[in-house]
Chains A and B, each alone.
Chain A
Amino acid sequence: MATIIVQRPKLAWHERWFISTLVKGLKITLGHALKTFREIVGGKEKVTMEYPEQKWDANLPSYYRGAPALVTDEQERERCVSCQLCEFICPPKAIRITPGEIPSDDPWAKVEKRPKEFDIDMTRCIYCGMCEEVCPEQAIYLRKDYAITGESRAELMHNKKKLYEIGGKRVGLVNKWNELK
């Protein structure tokens, strides 16, 4: 194993006894304080975004992982075939799927299954995106919604209807890794 000898800076006596270093430190902090104070008094704060009034939504990157949601394809078909892979991979076990059969008189009968119920517990979800990654049908996506709030636990239980509401329709060529995320 290579030994790295760290070169400690040679300190003058006034640096070692915190005299000049103290003055230097106070100058830095006071400088920042005065600068920010002037900005606040002048009404043009450049440092902190005042969150609920100002939002960063326009600048969210394309790979932003917000709330997970289900999508339909261009023919309004539910993409999810309730294979339950997302349910099994979900690390905090936030997803619960009740599979249901598609009746034989349905135009999409050949797909065989779709979720009867699809619940994501948003109090558990950690926004890791594994459900999106594992989905073979490209039916679940992490959207850009991040302010998921509610006044009760029941409100934070996203059911199938809510999930499709957030997810909406995906039209055009939807490949999982293309830019149309």
Chain B
Amino acid sequence: MAALLASFDFAFLITSVVKIVFLTFLVILPMVAYSVYAERRFSAIIQDRVGPNRTGIPLTLFGFKKDIQIFGIGGLVQPMADGLKFLLKEDFTPKSVNTFYYWLAPALTMVPALMTCAVLPFGSELDFSFLNPMIEKLGGTGFSAPVKSVIADLNVGPLFTFAIASLGVYGIVLAGWSSNSKYPFLGGVRSSAQMISYELSLGLSIIPVLMVFGELNLSKMSAFQDANGWLLLPFWGEGLTAERWVLLVPMVISFCIFTVAMFAETNRLPFDLAECETELVAGYHTEYSSMKFALFFLGEYAAMIIGSGLAVTLFLGGWSIPFWPFFEYVGNMIGLDTAFGWLGSSFQLHYSAGSTPFWLGLLHIGVFFLKVIVFILFFILIRWSLPRFRFDQLMKLGWLFMFELALANVILTAVIMACFTK
């Protein structure tokens, strides 16, 4: 027993658990709640409305005159009220459903969506060595190396994500089938057909990216982009070579295909044929209520957030700060490094393995989530701008256009790379 316990790396276990709790419960789930709120407010202003702007901390319940609005922005407590409603609603199971699968389906949508976030590098690394004296006082050894801001630093990052994310379709198909009702069934069938068609182009679209990186590890990809310019923004480091600028053409094509396929993959408009309110009532989750419906909802938005995270990591530099050589130059010109001792011996905004200051690690995490938020807002804007595709149009676009384009793009990238290697 003691030998077994000794074989565990407790520092690794504890940091992993802390990372999982931080990313899933403190970041992704609140982000899901607030992206629903953002969606409602953003769609409102697109349609010249105001949106939910009243829910505040309900002090009027306790006899006060006014509800408190956080930061003076109306309705910021709305997600909490929505969540409470989901918990308190009656959880209704129709008589005709296949109960086992009916209960299993929401979990099968939610779990894969959250599992994919394991490989997302949401920051560079955090140097906790300033905690070492305290840990040593408690009898530990302290941190010997900085903690990487990724739950599982897998060497097959994108493959893992695609493998798990495509399991999400089982939840939808099972929900549609077990509901024993025609509209959910149609929604489930449509969704599976759509997933199959778009997964091909999704997978093919990132092959050129992997060829450029020569790497399947998402954290190393981010580090590469930090050093050598983003894939779509090659402005520093090796990004200033002719090869990278010519490669920008296939990379932009890749990015477009990836984004479109991601929309289809997460069942977002203009590809939300699985729920399609105008034709299928609510699609696969028509028969669901209360928390089970909420799980579908959470799964959809979590998939959206993690998809955005993946797009940001692959194409938009992950956690890296754009144009850092410029900012560093300006920062050192005005003497930031000498003015603020805590900034470290020299003011730096770039990642350097093992010697990234703590504040920069935090800044990288912030930058990553900022990019993800911008990408989600783009998702929302697209949803409220485009009409839904007809099903045959969707299939035609997927099989006759995007698949071929993605395939041609791989060859184009290979040719360009072959031309530039001596």
Contacts and interface: CB of A to CB of B under 8 A. Distances in A.
Contact of B381 (A30, A45, A48, A50): A30
Given A36-B45, A37-B45, A40-B45, A29 B381 contact: yes
A40 B50 contact: yes
A26 B384 CA distance: 9
B50 A50 contact: yes
Main secondary structure on chain A at its contact with chain B? helix
Interface string B39-69: 0001011111110000000000000000000
Contacts of A36: 44-46, 48-50
B45 A48 contact: no
A47 B50 contact: yes
B385 interface: yes
Contacts of B50: 36, 40, 45, 47-48, 50
Nearest to B389: A18
B49 A47 contact: yes
B386 interface: yes
Given A47-B50, A48-B50, A50-B50, A22 B45 contact: no
A28 interface: yes
Contacts of B47: 32
Interface in B215-270: none
A29 B49 contact: no
A29 B46 CA distance: 5
Of the listed residues A32, A33, A37, A47, the one surrounded by the most CB atoms of chain B closer than 10 A to its CB is A33
B39 to A, nearest CB: 12
Nearest to B382: A26
Contacts of B384: 29
A25 B48 CA distance: 15
Contact of B385 (A26, A35, A47, A50): A26
A50 B49 CA distance: 10
Nearest to B387: A25
A112 B14 CA distance: 91
B42 A33 contact: yes
A22 B48 contact: no
Contacts of B48: 32, 35-36, 47-48
A32 B46 contact: yes
Interface in B350-396: 381-382, 384-386
B404 to A, nearest CB: 13
Interface string A38-60: 00100001011010000000000
A30 B45 CA distance: 9
Interface in B338-359: none
Given A32-B45, A50-B50, A22 B386 contact: yes
A26 B381 CA distance: 7
Contacts of A37: 45
Interface string B11-49: 000000000000000000000000000000010111111
9 contacts: A22-B385, A25-B386, A29-B384, A32-B47, A33-B42, A36-B46, A36-B48, A36-B49, A48-B50
Interface of A: 22, 25-26, 28-30, 32-33, 35-37, 40, 45, 47-48, 50
Interface of B: 42, 44-50, 381-382, 384-386
Which 6 A-B residue pairs are closest in the complex by CB-CB distance?
A: A36-B45, A47-B48, A29-B385, A25-B385, A33-B45, A33-B46
